[in-house]
């Protein structure tokens, strides 16, 4: 059973003391926004799997072995906040993680998040995306990933949490308001 933390006050206290934070969840949930805010509060380096690990210009995906090598190098550092949900590297990331923040918002909120992101960035490269990868219109495969995230992907996350990080505390953020409260409490946590 994953090591879930059920109250935001405890999560903020743990987050405040963390050196290595993993932020996961569906596309559009707000992983990048939360990750950047955590770095502003705690310091450390921010890494995005999309920008720093997975993608090369023109939406070419790096070789799996190269992605694994990069992830291994990132998590070997002393302080980091890493956002990205690909469970294929949880075996490397989770043992080095002090706390997981799982952005587990409803799918309609995630779809709205993607819609806002596309409206703001369509045709431009976002700062959390690899150079040469402009924001596209979402395709059916991407929208299906978001729509079916809880049914298809959440159980895989839970198995991996249990397998590779049973001791790592996991806080599930279920709303934008809860994300704001977590950040506010982290700023003021002793």
Give pLDDT tens digits for 13-42: 999 999 999 999 999 999 999 999 999 999
Q: Which positions ≥6 away from 181 have C-beta within 8 Å?
A: 8
Question: DSSP label at 52?
Answer: I
- For the record, the structure tokens of 25 come out as 């969840």
Residue 131 in contact with residue 57, Cβ under 8 Å? yes
* Radius of gyration of the CA atoms of the chain, in A: 16
Average pLDDT for the chain = 96
Task: Give the percent of the chain with pLDDT over 90.
Answer: 95
pLDDT band at 189 (very low <50, low <70, confident <90, very high): confident
Mark residue 162 as left, alpha or beta (left: phi above 0; alpha: psi -120 to 50; beta: remaining): alpha
SS3 state at 79: coil
CB 74 within 8 A of CB 52: yes
> Residue 126: its pLDDT value, please?
93
Q: Mean pLDDT over residues 143-164, rounded?
A: 97
By DSSP bridging, strand 169-173 and strand 55-56 are unpaired
The closest of 130, 146, 131 to 54, measured between CA atoms, is: 130
pLDDT at 128: 87
Domain boundaries, the chain: 3-188
Which candidate, 85, 101, 105, 90, places its Cα nearest to that of 16?
A: 101
> What number is the average pLDDT over the span 169-181?
98
pTM, 2 dp: 0.96
Note the CATH architecture for domain 3-188.
3-Layer(aba) Sandwich (3.40)
Task: Name beta bridge partners: 20.
Answer: 80
Mean pLDDT of 147-163: 96
pLDDT of 90-132, one tens digit each?
Answer: 999 999 999 999 999 999 999 999 999 999 999 999 988 999 9
- Give 135's DSSP letter: B
Q: What single string gives the DSSP state of each residue in 81-120?
A: EEE---GGGHHHHGGG-SEEEEE---HHHHHHHHHHHHHH
Q: What is the mean pLDDT of residues 52-62?
A: 96
Can you tell me the mean pLDDT for 122-144? 95
In this model, does residue 142 exceed pLDDT 80?
Answer: yes
């Amino acid at each position: 059973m994953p090591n879930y933390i059920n109250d935001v006050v405890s999560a903020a206290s743990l987050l405040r003391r963390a050196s290595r934070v993993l932020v996961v969840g569906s596309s559009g949930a707000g992983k990048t926004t939360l990750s950047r805010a955590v770095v502003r509060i705690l310091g450390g380096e921010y890494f995005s799997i999309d920008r720093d690990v997975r993608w090369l210009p023109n939406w070419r995906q790096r070789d799996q072995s190269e992605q694994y090598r990069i992830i291994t190098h990132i998590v070997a550092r002393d302080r980091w906040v890493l956002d990205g949900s690909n469970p294929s590297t949880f075996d490397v990331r989770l043992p080095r993680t002090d706390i997981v923040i799982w952005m587990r918002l409803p799918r309609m909120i995630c779809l709205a998040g993607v819609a806002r992101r596309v409206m703001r960035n369509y045709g431009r490269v976002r700062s959390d995306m690899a150079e040469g990868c402009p924001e596209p219109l979402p395709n059916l495969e991407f929208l299906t990933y978001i729509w079916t995230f809880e049914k298809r992907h959440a159980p895989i996350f839970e198995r991996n949490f249990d397998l590779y990080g049973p001791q790592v505390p996991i806080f599930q953020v279920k709303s934008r308001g809860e994300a704001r409260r977590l950040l506010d409490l982290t700023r003021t946590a002793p």
